[in-house]
Amino acid sequence: MPGESEGTFRTPTLRGVALTAPYTHAGQLKTLKEVVQFYNDGGAADSFSGTKDPLIVPLNLTEQEVDDLVAFMESLTGDPVPEALTQDISKP
């Protein structure tokens, strides 16, 4: 039996996702389109018995819907965060 947290992943932010290829924890998906196709196929096979949520099923998205989702994710990238806001000022 796998441990309770085996096969679980934190859900990453989609902010700026157009700039962070390759995707997923092992970087095996090279483009956002590959990611959407992965979900459209119902995700990967369940390699940890019982850990794949039954809600993860093929989505039957059309090619247009796949492209629309990619365009949406590409819209989640704005200007870079100003340098001044990336400084850690929590310590003196």
Q: Which residues bind ligand HEM (CB under 6 A)?
A: 9, 11-12, 17, 20, 23-25, 32, 35-36, 39, 69, 73
Omega of the bond prior to 22 within 30 degrees of 0, cis? yes
Percent helix, strand, coil in the chain, to 5, is: 30, 0, 65
Residue 3 CB, nearest approach to ligand HEM (Å): 17
Smallest distance from the beta carbon of 80 to ligand HEM, in angstroms? 17
The smaller minimum CB distance to ligand HEM, of residues 4 and 88, is found at 4
User: Least distance to ligand HEM from the beta carbon of 76, Å?
Assistant: 10
Number of neighbouring beta carbons within 10 Å of residue 73: 16
Q: Report the residue number, 13 or 87, with the smaller CB distance to ligand HEM.
A: 13
What distance separates the 2 farthest-apart alpha carbons in the chain? Answer: 54
